[in-house]
Amino acid sequence: MEFPKPEISFHSNGQTPGNEVFSIVIPSWNNLPYLKQCINSIEKNSSFKHQIIIHVNEGTDGTINWVKQQGYSYTYSATNAGVCYALNAAATLATTKYIVYFNDDMYACPKWDWVLWEAIEQNNSPLFYYSSTMIEYEKGTNNATLSPYDFGKDIDSFDEKALLDFIQNKALKTDWYGASWPPSIVSKELWDKVNGYSEEYSPGFYSDPDFSMKLWQQGVRDFRGFGKSLVYHFKCKSTGRVVRNNGRKTFMKKWGFTASFLYKNVLHVGEPYTNKTLHFPKNIAYFISKLKAILS
């Protein structure tokens, strides 16, 4: 079933750009308590001032009224627009050189942005894609996360003090290869060049590896996650309500190989960062991946 293209309205707060460093886009779907906590953590724990842009899906839980009252720039759809349409709409209101994609069920830890900014300054090139490291309360299949460290499975059980005590002055995780999901940062120049997230993946599953592949085609080889840029993640408070698209098949038909090959053999997701140059191997795994795509 094809995902319907939503009607979206655009609402800039009209403020003249000042000293904001990043433009942070946050899609939210009737998840107001988490959205409030997410934005509060960004404003409280960031080292710099940032522009915050929210895409409000429905907003029937009071989100739309709250966003208006707070004076944030926002985009709005009366129905769920999914991730791709939401991000692309919100990004059009960005006024800085860098776009950060945040989920509303995340808590930004202190200096999360300083680490990313420092890496960007040292890189001195727009050809990068960086991510923070997610702390999660249960062990999953993603070895790029810091888990299992349970500081609350939901907003009511969240132990903020214990989390902040835990991360203070600790080398919890090394930097890692394969940045490909939020919180993620890319230059606006690159975002515009690849036209943001591909809307054929709506509501959004497998749009992350697709975005990484589009950046790869533009010459990006620096896909890096940072162990000292941390967020706590409550995990799928919105995506659990979505009817999933067959993004796996869409990816294979578009690129001619599997997303798992991209993550494992090209981006080396979760492997410790060693400053080696990533390349695209034409090995046995590649041809098996191509065969899977042909047969899909």
Q: How many CA atoms lie within 13 A of 154 on its CB side?
A: 5
- 278 within 8 A of 266, measured Cβ to Cβ: yes
Show the CA angle centred on residue 260, arms to residues 288 and 293, nearest 5°: 45
Q: What would the mean pLDDT of 56-82 be, rounded to a whole number?
A: 96
pTM of the predicted model as reported, rounded to 2 decimal places: 0.95
Per-residue pLDDT tens over the stretch 266-292: 999 999 999 899 999 999 999 999 999
Say if residue 242's pLDDT is above 70: no
Domain ranges of the chain: 8-250
Distance CA 127, CA 105 (A): 28
Domain covering 8-250 in this structure, CATH number = 3.90.550.10
Whole-angstrom Cα distance, residue 252 to residue 256?
5
For residue 116, which phi and psi values (nearest 5 degrees)? -65, -45
Q: What's the CA angle centered on 258, arms 255 and 263, to 5 degrees? A: 105
Percent over 70 (pLDDT), the chain: 96
**Cβ atoms < 10 Å from Cβ of 294:** 11
- Comparing 240 with 184, the larger pLDDT belongs to 184
What gap in Å lies between CA 117 and CA 123, rounded to an integer? Answer: 10
Task: Quote the radius of gyration of the chain (alpha carbons, Å).
Answer: 18
